[in-house]
Structure 1
């Protein structure tokens, strides 16, 4: 039976149905560190790759194939014993944003610019690393600074005081990274580089685009700044999953938001866990608590669907 550890903070990404086509590529071990799949380099078999709903597994040569539409983020589920290179903000480069039409130009906070057509294989490079089974993870919840002054308080009173030991291997922020001003995402990322750790981020209700009419567009700025908000990876004997569990607008009345999961997210969880050893610890991180005690924070059918995945 899968063991689940849920990380929450108290406080639609939807696949485009139209214009579906096939995408393929290789997951490989970049032995010469040049970020190119050279003929003598080995493809890695058994690695999961997802479009946010479906999960493909690489064959003996490291090859995969997935469906892709007009609004997808293709990402690799990091296998145990490997790592991706980090960008300048220490965010792992495990994904590719495919949005040929880009985000809506009307957004208050900038989204993703139109991306180029995919004309060749989409390959991802991996690098070997040792992963001890006894390790620690640094977890932040709800920094929620509303302006640059409050962000500086966060840097001085929290980040500067963190003592990271060699046992801490990476970190996770559990949402409300900023307080509605999404332009603060970039200075937040700059501050977090002080920790010199690979970092993963959950989207909170204060990290969303509220000037949209569908849930599928509520994460456009988050995607630009952090990448996918539904994804997973492996470290040692543990499988980690990050989920966006905020529905906006609230499907009950179109006002505000509600905790829950879309059907495509449930499918991703099922497809992802189908490739996970049943004896592995599974750690799931999201923003709105799933307990639902004392209120209706979470749509109950989504909570039940999640718990039986």
Structure 2
């Protein structure tokens, strides 16, 4: 598809012109669509979607979110799911600039928050370099929603003094993340690790983290946070990959690592006074809002991570 043309689809009101008939430049809005549940959209995001004449939409944005777009707006799906085919980033940036220059109100709709692993840095640079008016509307990032799904804070006065949000893999041509060094820093400073896009690299991540964190460090995985298909897994660092494979967890998932998981309400609701130490097996329990996988330890005593 040529960057100057758009496929026939929904069309909103025509771009504006001044009294002399001269086309007025449009604008671009980078909008966070949140983790998936449309009820978690901000009011500002909903208003922006309703005003947009063109929407460029990431793959993880569902139809329930898109229902807030104007009925006659153009909706262009550009992919952007980890490990899957998607529209080249440079093409997206060129399309945003061209449509804004044509007087369109362009919404670039991204899963989560546009400023957290959303490649908004490149898009902001391209738009500003082209002299296009641009606005950013934040959304709930999936790492925060994963914590909500687990019933656990990411910071805690006793267990976690800070949070590191990190991608599971580096961009092509860039140096890979030093997971061992990150683990040592997290252990020394009592930090919670929130890992995005880490499923395909889980084995390498696990091996690196084990060089700086105890094997019994609690780990949780949340797949499709906030959606009906949501699944949650509680494990330990040494059993992370095994338990993920047993329960078939895949992308899109968030991996949370750290002692803050000791405060997980998810474990308490299953009768644990605290978190289990040994995860030689796993048990599965299904709830109305997705599935939860918790350790199959004796539920008559109290358990703690080592």
TM-score, normalised with respect to structure 1: 0.24
Give the structure with higher Rg (CA): 2
The higher-RCO structure (CA 8 Å, 6+ apart) is 1
Instruction: Pick the structure with more helix per residue.
Output: 2
TM-score, normalised with respect to structure 2: 0.24
